[in-house]
Amino acid sequence: MTSLDGPQTAPSLPEVLSGLVASLPETHLAAWIRVLRTIVAPDERTESRLVAAHPGAGLGPRAELLLSSWMATDPQVSGPAVALALEAASNRYELDRTSHRVEIAVSGPVSDAVPIRLTASVAVEVIRAATNTLLVTSYAAFGVREIVSEIGAAADRGVCVDLVLETVRSSGGRLNGNTDGRAAFYELRFHPDVHLWEWANDQRHGPGRWRGSMHAKVIAADRGTALLGSANLTDNAYTDNLEIGAVIHNPTAVASLVDHFTTLMHSADGPLIRLRWASLG
């Protein structure tokens, strides 16, 4: 293959198989895999057999590219081996696609331009997905009866729940009112699997020397799914405010997020420390 920029190297068989997995519909891939299993070695009929297996637009160039890269492979591999490689690549692609996706959630006004899910329903779904651990963080928390109920149900089925909340005492006067997020979850105070945390009052001065706020808003189920966004755990934030969030289905990223908070909770000197239910003011 040549171009104005000089000779170009033809793509290798692994590169072509990866491209086919990303571009061909699942039904076409399945048809090609069936055909490849019956071919001992590539010949002049291979391309036409692939195209005829499941007719569709744009298949000819793809079949031609597969045939040329296959014939250029040294040592030569059999059709069943190519079929197995294509099937393995397809399975891996589907696994990565389903476990590394992001969904958008909103509160407040919605548009007709794109389908978007509401924050409240997404939050419930993430909480229900938890089987071992549930991390919930928020600056403000009040109301949200459904969320409190779902967190209680998660704890009842054996999920270890960590609630990281801002407090009136440690907020330095920034949190409005005389009570903080503990009041919203007070009915869970006797549950042995629900644990409260706060950012230690004496560790809130960062490099900028301003007093920091516990401003993170996270709901993370186990180490695989997390809702991140602007919405606090409040009725207004989940229904009336204009808020935006993203649901991350990515075990690697979510595990890093959970590990970050776990380290902050269990390091010898804080900065996240256990919070008592008593003295809500």
For the segment 41-75, what is each residue's pLDDT rounded down to a tens digit? 999 999 999 999 998 888 899 999 999 999 999 99
Has residue 239 got a pLDDT over 60?
yes
Strand partners, 183: none
Question: How far is residue 233 from each of residues 2, 188, 225, measured CA to CA in Å?
Answer: 60, 16, 18
Task: Give residue 165's pLDDT.
Answer: 93
Q: Is the dihedral of CA 23, 27, 33, 36 positive or negative?
A: negative
Task: Give residue 279's pLDDT.
Answer: 53
Confidence of residue 93 (pLDDT cuts 50, 70, 90): confident
Helix (H, G, I), strand (E, B) or coil at 251: helix
Task: Name which of 21-30, 90-99, 100-109, 235-244 the model is least confident about.
Answer: 90-99
Pairing of strands 101-107, 117-118: parallel
Has residue 31 got a pLDDT over 90?
yes
Q: Which residue has the higher pLDDT, 150 or 114?
A: 150
Task: Give residue 6's pLDDT.
Answer: 47
Has residue 125 got a pLDDT over 70?
yes
Q: What percent of the chain has pLDDT over 70?
A: 89
Task: Name which of 112-116, 175-179, 248-252, 271-275 the model is least confident about.
Answer: 175-179
246: left (phi over 0), alpha (psi -120 to 50) or beta: beta
Task: Give residue 232's pLDDT.
Answer: 94
Mean pLDDT estimate for the chain = 88
Cα(218)–Cα(247) distance, rounded to whole angstroms? 10
What does DSSP assign to residue 143?
A: -
Cα(140)–Cα(217) distance, rounded to whole angstroms? 9
Nearest CA among 61, 219, 188 for reference residue 50: 61
pLDDT single digits (tens) 133-174: 999 999 989 899 999 999 999 999 999 999 999 887 766 556
Calculate mean pLDDT across residues 125-129.
96
Pairing of strands 194-199, 160-165: parallel
